Structure 1
Amino acid sequence: MNAKSEYLRSPRGFRWWLIRVVMVTVAIIVAAVAYLLVVGASAKSELIESNPAPGRLVDVGGYKMHINCMGEGSPTVLMEAGAGDFSVTWSAVQPKLSQTTRVCSYDRSGFGWSEPNAEQARTSQTMVQELETLLANTNIEDELVLVGHSFGGLNVRLFADRHLDKVVGVVLVDALHEDVSPEMQRINSEAQLALVEELRVVSILQSIGLLALSPEEIPEQGLPLEAMAQYRAILATGSQVDTMIAELSAIEDSLTYARSLDLKHLDNIPVAVLTATHRNQPSLSEDQNKQMAKAWNKMQIAQSKLSSESYFVSTSKSGHYIQLEQPELVIRTINKLVTRARYKG
């Protein structure tokens, strides 16, 4: 038996050997993390540089929001994305629609290319106020046709309620309604909690640069090629994920606020309701999906009664993202309201 093995057999010798092993292991881990942070930061910079914001970044009081306007003519079509989404969700609609009139898509604070507003909770009330400031600072003063998808539909209704004199049409694309049934609310809450926990993990991966190192691993979203590259770049580099968590966590507050305003009618402003009958959330059971579909359809019918002049269109050819799966249907519907506004004007 040699001296080295005798040394390791003694309690004191083994303890010091173990400490050295741990210290070397920790040093290797620290070096690996430091290297990952450096290369991750470099990858983020490259993604940001190769995916600049289309449109404009507008100061709204200490931070900037992104708005992208295309085309010319009045009324202006203003499009709002759903929960956790940003302006690229309209990339299959906006270019063609802009051949008819001016079309603007924008990113809520913290989403897409918009900077976060860390001082305000991510509620619908705050979002509407931010949008008002954005439009004022962008000098968009003409009449508006508002288009909202999912959660964005609730926001455009809140905006319309505050600006009935300026809004000449509302298009709700499979939009959320504030009168959510207790059962639907329970199912949604469970799904949202699970999603928030998943997003917290994604946020960690994003912060250390892993997403930026392999953006191609971010799942497809059914977007056009350029828009998909932009989506991946934003998800891998910006405040998107953390804002998604904040927005989802505050949705119940947004619904409560909307209910407090009693948004029952939009006078004679034309309202078009597009809804998808083909819906299936993999995270839910078959029974839960049936309950959700029934409750969702009830909400869509309620929204078709918001105006004395409303249009209700259901489609079995799309899931929730009608603007990506059937963009022509969305374009035709919006153009119908644009034409009507011009005719009345």
Structure 2
Amino acid sequence: MPTSILTSDPTLINIGTHSLALYAHGPEPKTSKDPVIFFVSGISSSRLNWGAVVRLLSPSLRSYTYDRSGYNNSEISPLPPTAENIALELSLLIERASITNPLILVGHSWAGVILCEFLARTGNGPHIAGLVLVDANHETALQVLEVNDPILWTVFAGVDFYSGTGIEAEHKLTPEEWAAFQSDQSTEKHQKAGEKESEQYSPSFPTLRQKGLQEKQPLLGDKPVYVIGSFRSRDWGNLYKLGVEKGNGTEEQRRHAREMIATADEKSEGLMRKHLKLSEKSKFVLAKESGHFIQLQQPDVVVDGIEWALSEIRDSASS
């Protein structure tokens, strides 16, 4: 029977400074060598956005989600939520929770930066089985495509993101999962944690670049890396239309927004393809019916990526 993300109770794991809430889905792995799946969300994003993916996974698979510091059942960290500190806390969580099976790390959006910080901290050891990157930020992302461009968001002002982008109508969560996701996102605790992360978002990119990881590729050797890109113009085009209907922006600002939308997909795909350098065994796909939140609109594409990674791991083990 499929595992619901809503039926897993949290286990509070003390990482030394505070406790993080960890959620296990599916049965214990049969052997110590069986890979397990670990989901890492993007900025200001609930673990509940993985609900459809968790439910669609093979019922024999073990997977984990967690609340980052300050979210839902996790305590507030004494450290600022930089990508480096989040990666530190993630490594401590995995260690203190005694998750010793090799990990297929699945990361969305800012988790691309967080997971690279995690790799910089922990190295490419036996704890890593592979990566699935879901429209994940590359370290050069903001140099190529400034997603927080103030003029762009002036035109989008006052438009609800989830309804405006079409996610509210197109998501593949159950009604119960969607209600839980929305409820979690709307709490004061969640919003405060998200504001703190937003302050650390832009500085995290040059901090990661300074580590010179791109000169050390492939960081994961021949471990499988599956990269999923989206159509950013899908989100922004919908938000633009509704923003203009509200009267937002000058004509010059609207022109600027249209130019950004027109080039967004090509730039985004170029950034996603840079992740392929992480491994000698990598694959790129486009989620053709999704904006940035692929796990909500096309969770089956994320599941395909996990299954591909598992298949590559099995093939390597048998060869």
TM-score under structure 2 length normalisation: 0.77
2:244 corresponds to: none
The equivalent residue for 2:65 is 105
Deviation readout 1:290-312 (Å, 9 max, x if unpaired): 23333212101111222111101
Alignment of 1:177 with 2:127, yes or no, is no
SS at match of 2:277: coil
> Structure 2, unaligned stretches of length 5 or more?
1-5, 159-166, 241-253
The equivalent position to 1:168 in structure 2, one of 129, 138, 144, is 129
Alignment of 1:98-177 (within 5 A): 98-117=58-77, 119-161=78-120, 162-165=122-125, 166-177=127-138
* Structure 2 letter corresponding to 1:304: L
The 3-state SS of whatever aligns with 1:311 is strand
Say which structure is richer in helix: 1
- Structure (1 or 2) with the larger CA radius of gyration: 1
SS at match of 2:229: strand
> Percent of counterpart pairs with the same letter?
26
Q: 2:53 aligns with which of 85, 93, 102?
A: 93
Within 2, Cα distance between the matches of 1:325 and 1:191? 27
2:246 aligns to what? none
In the alignment, does 2:299 pair up with 1:333?
no
Change (3 A) 1:89 1:181: closer
Counterpart CA distance in 2 for 1:61 and 1:272 is: 33
**Structure 1 residue ranges, 4+ long, deviating more than 4 angstroms after superposition:** 191-195
Going from structure 1 to structure 2, the CA distance change for 1:327 and 1:159 (only over 3 Å counts) comes to same
One-letter code of the match for 2:280?
Answer: S
Shift of 1:220: 4.3
Asked if 1:272 is matched to 2:244, the reply is no
Counterpart amino acid of residue 228 in structure 2: L
- In 1, Cα distance between equivalents of 2:197 and 2:314: 36
Q: State the distance in 1 between where 2:276 and 2:213 align.
A: 13
User: Which structure 1 residue ranges, 5 or more long, are not aligned?
Assistant: 1-50, 199-218
- Asked if 1 retains the 8 angstrom alpha-carbon contact of 2:106 and 2:131, the reply is yes
Other structure's SS at 1:170 match: strand
* Aligned-CA RMSD value: 2.7
TM-score, L = length of structure 1: 0.71
Cα distance, 1:315 vs structure 2 = 2.5
CA distance in 2, matches of 1:76, 1:191: 42
Distance 1:280 1:274 in 2: 16
Aligned residues: 272
